[in-house]
Amino acid sequence: MLKSVYSSSNYKWLVFSVIGLGSLTNVIHHGSISIALPTIAREFGVSLTTIQWVVLAESLTISALLLPMGRLSDIIGRKPMYLLGVVLFGVMALFAGSSPAIAQYLGYAHPIMLMIPFRVLQGAGAAMTQANGMAMVTSAFSARERGKGLGAHGSVIGTGGIIGPIVGGFLVTYVSWHWIFWINVPLCAITFLGTALLLDSSRFTGATQGDKSFDWLGATLSSSTLLVFLLTLSNGAELGWFSLPIIAGFLIFIGLITTFIWWELNSSSPMLDLSLFRSRLFSVGIGSSYISFLGVTSFRFLITFYLQAALKLTPAQISWVLIPNAISRIILGPLSGHLSDKFGTKPFTTVGLLLAGCGLLLMAFMADSTPIWFVILSIVIMSSGSGIFSSPNNAAIFSSATGNKFGVTSALVNLSRNSGNVTGIAIATAIVSGTMLSAGFSSNVEEVMIAGTGSTILQTFISGMRSVFLVMAILQFISSIANLTTSREPLSEA
């Protein structure tokens, strides 16, 4: 029976459905946590610089492990690695949600110090799934339909973007923030069963053509480089940008990335084939994806604090305000992906980034008395731009890589997203915290949340937030120009 399913002309949509469920679970989780962060921060009594690690712990791990997992999956096969990732993600979500109870049982006074390690392990599971999900979807569709497949996948991401805030707002308001994590367990169980039973392992084997060696030194160097850079960046505001640890961190980062590039260029079986970056289309695509997620993530991280502290909305109300963000992606993601198959990717990536920048620029004018319609309008413009941009950009990136490099390419695409997520949060935190510290305030979330409209501390927080959105808008505009001036002729052999 399964053989007839595997040979069906609609099998590509079965692959899409199963992988889509896993992606949906991941995005729902991400959207839910964004809503829950202020509540968790207040319950644990921690500052903005501390609560960011609930997100950073997972994202840092994903960023550090994506390339090694992509290469390892090309060697041992994508399906088994994907299944292992689903299990690890679900189990660690259960533990993260139970961290206060586990801390009480073990006698720990600070549950967040348990939650963060659980989030690290959850990130390892997410890295295994993300390094393989898009590669499997891409492999299932022909080159002619690749934009359609990736557009449909983008629609799933958008759907998760709608469901995540709604679920998060409902659970935080009416049940408990713990269920933000626990709800992943049944979703992961269904994803595991669907993947194990319905996906044909022979179609998703490694693509190394007999080369089964793994670049352990390259994996270590890439992980260390990312970790040092992101840890240094995320701690700059708190420790001081010219403090000895931060300066040392940046110097170590320069040394590590130089060593990594030298090693990959001289390794017989490199983890990252740097020849991919000979294509300007590939390089601009990866860079633009990173910049796009810088803007999206800084918005997602700060907007929930702004809506609660300045506009005094509840988590449930915030979830409804953020719905247009996801609806725009659901509608425009598949549409732009489909149209880019016919008309090329350049118009969509260029205009998408331009719109995203305009939305972020509008956000840079928000204050503590901004009408809610202005906030929603800014969100719709920004999210419409990112929705138009994403699928055509991914299609352009994959068109620059041959099939035997889809694993590493998928890992790089997801790495650009996750490193953008981490860096976006780190930059947002650094700018907002730096603004508040320079004005004589701490970055304690509780103080901002209870501040009255017009209070100096709230005004200072909003000032820092506006600076973040202005910086991100400028980056989107620069990236749009880079896309406009990039040829769309992909390399036949990357």
Angle at 46 between CA 41 and CA 51, to 5 degrees: 60
CA dihedral 260, 62, 393, 342 (to 10 degrees): 120
Region of residue 370 (phi > 0: left; psi between -120 and 50: alpha; otherwise: beta): beta
- Residue closest to 52 by CA, chosen among 109, 100, 98, 119: 119
Report the distance separating Cα 154 and Cα 6, nearest Å: 24
- Chain-centroid distance of CA 119 in Å reads 15
Residue identified by tokens 């110090």 is 113
Report the distance separating Cα 487 and Cα 196, nearest Å: 41
How big, in percent rounded to 5, are the helix, strand and coil portions of the chain? Answer: 85, 0, 15
Report the distance separating Cα 108 and Cα 88, nearest Å: 24
Cβ count near 203 (within 10 Å): 14
Report the distance separating Cα 276 and Cα 200, nearest Å: 28
Phi, psi of 365 (to 5 degrees): -105, 5
Report the distance separating Cα 341 and Cα 59, nearest Å: 32
User: DSSP class of residue 47?
Assistant: B
Report the distance separating Cα 214 and Cα 192, nearest Å: 26
Give, in order, the Cα–Cα distances in Å from 104 to each of 100, 111, 115, 117.
6, 8, 13, 16
Classified by CATH at the fold level, domain 8-200+216-484 comes out as Growth Hormone; Chain: A; (1.20.1250)
Phi, psi of 268 (to 5 degrees): -75, -25
pLDDT score at 478: 96
Report the distance separating Cα 467 and Cα 460, nearest Å: 11
Write the burial class of residue 292 (CB in 10 Å: 0-12 exposed, 13-18 middle, 19+ buried).
buried
Looking at 98-183, list the stretches that DSSP marks H as alpha helix, in order from N- to C-terminal side. 99-106, 112-140, 146-174, 179-182
Report the distance separating Cα 218 and Cα 261, nearest Å: 9
Residue 444 β-bridge partners = 47
Q: What is the mean pLDDT of each run of 10 residues along the chain (494 residues)?
A: 57 79 84 83 78 82 80 79 92 92 83 90 91 74 68 72 79 89 92 82 56 75 83 75 91 95 84 78 90 90 86 83 76 79 85 95 92 93 90 82 66 78 82 83 68 79 93 96 77 40
Report the distance separating Cα 437 and Cα 444, nearest Å: 11
pLDDT score at 379: 92
Report the distance separating Cα 59 and Cα 124, nearest Å: 9
Residue 484 carries which side chain, given as an amino acid letter?
A: L
Phi, psi of 47 (to 5 degrees): -85, 175
**Which structure tokens are listed for 419?**
């490193």
**Which structure tokens are listed for 174?**
């009416």
Phi, psi of 10 (to 5 degrees): -95, 10
Contact status, residue 80 vs residue 18, Cβ threshold 8 Å: no
Report the distance separating Cα 131 and Cα 71, nearest Å: 9
pLDDT score at 494: 36
Instruction: Tally helices (H) and strands (E) across the chain.
Output: 18, 0
pLDDT score at 492: 42
Report the distance separating Cα 386 and Cα 289, nearest Å: 10
Contact status, residue 313 vs residue 47, Cβ threshold 8 Å: no
Residue ranges covered by each domain of the chain: 8-200+216-484
Give, in order, the Cα–Cα distances in Å from 218 to each of 81, 259, 260, 282, 401.
19, 9, 6, 21, 21
Report the distance separating Cα 269 and Cα 185, nearest Å: 37
**Which structure tokens are listed for 178?**
């713990």
Report the distance separating Cα 157 and Cα 21, nearest Å: 10
pLDDT score at 13: 78
